[in-house]
């Protein structure tokens, strides 16, 4: 779940804490780009894009999950979901250094793609790999990972941790860590038996 539903939970909750810092960042960088001060309505609009574009990315990721899981298998599809996660972390983490609030919007879009992919494939992969007597319990790991992700996001957003003006880019880039953990550990996991049998016609591998 660390690179699956956890990513979704983390990104849903992590955006709340740095809201005022990101709005201030938009106010600072806007004049350098457009040679005028932004109105409060424009700042609110840009902030709305930052928050809501995650859902658009999630839709794109969800629509791609079925194709990728059949084309490449559940395990490799889960691994591929870490590519947009790392890309989003790089964009959001470097946004302040580059003076670009557009990088935050793009990063949120890619993190949404990761969340949409990971959440759907996590359920599929875990359910298909679990022994019959544990299938219900294992499928619930998606809900558990989502809840843990939300909790970690809120915890990281505390002022005593990363929820301060100087550290909000690190907070926004925190999804890189679970992505790296999954990239290092998931290759040692087996492929889904259902994928091997039905999509790859590999009966021996399935058994």
Residue 204 lies in a domain: no
207, part of any domain:
no
C-alpha span between 163 and 21 (Å, rounded): 9
Q: Is residue 139 part of a domain?
A: yes
Q: How many domains does the chain have?
A: 1
What are 76-117's pLDDT values in tens digits? 999 999 999 999 999 999 999 999 999 999 999 999 999 999
Q: Classify residue 206: in a domain, yes or no.
A: no
The answer to whether position 156 is within a domain reads yes
- Of how many residues is the chain composed? 207
Please list, residue by residue across 151-190, b when 16 or more beta carbons sit within 10 angstroms of its beta carbon and e when fewer do.
ebbbebbeeeebbbeeebbbbbbbbbebbbebbeebeeee
pTM: 0.92
pLDDT value of residue 1: 87
Express each pLDDT in 113-157 by its tens digit.
999 999 999 999 998 998 889 988 888 888 999 999 999 999 999
Report yes or no on 10 lying in a domain.
Answer: yes
Residues 141 and 175: their CA atoms lie apart, in Å, by 19
Residue 205 lies inside a defined structural domain of this protein: no
Question: What pLDDT does residue 84 have?
Answer: 96
C-alpha–C-alpha distance, residues 65 and 194, integer Å: 16
Q: Which domain holds residue 75?
A: 3-199
Alpha-carbon gap, residue 6 to 85, rounded angstroms = 12
- CATH code, domain with 105: 1.20.1250.20
| Residue 118: inside a domain | yes
Take residue 143 and report the two structure tokens written for it.
């809900």
């Amino acid at each position: 779940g660390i690179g699956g539903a956890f990513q979704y939970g983390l990104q849903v909750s992590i955006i709340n804490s740095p809201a005022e810092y990101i709005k201030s960042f938009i106010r600072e960088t806007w004049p350098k780009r457009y040679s005028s001060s932004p109105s409060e309505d424009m700042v609110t609009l840009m902030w709305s894009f930052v928050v809501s574009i995650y859902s658009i990315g999630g839709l794109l990721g969800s629509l791609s999950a079925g194709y990728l899981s059949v084309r490449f298998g559940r395990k490799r599809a889960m691994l591929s979901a870490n590519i947009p996660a790392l890309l989003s972390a790089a964009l959001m983490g470097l946004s302040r250094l580059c003076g670009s609030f557009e990088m935050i919007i793009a990063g949120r879009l890619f993190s949404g793609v990761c969340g949409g992919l990971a959440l759907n494939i996590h359920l599929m992969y875990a359910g298909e790999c679990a022994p019959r007597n544990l299938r219900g319990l294992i499928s619930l790991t998606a809900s558990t990972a989502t809840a843990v992700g939300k909790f970690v996001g809120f915890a990281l957003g505390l002022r005593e941790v990363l929820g301060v003006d100087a550290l909000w880019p690190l907070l926004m880039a925190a999804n890189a860590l679970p992505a790296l953990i999954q990239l290092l550990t998931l290759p040692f996991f087996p492929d889904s038996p259902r994928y091997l049998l039905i999509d790859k016609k590999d009966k021996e591998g399935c058994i």
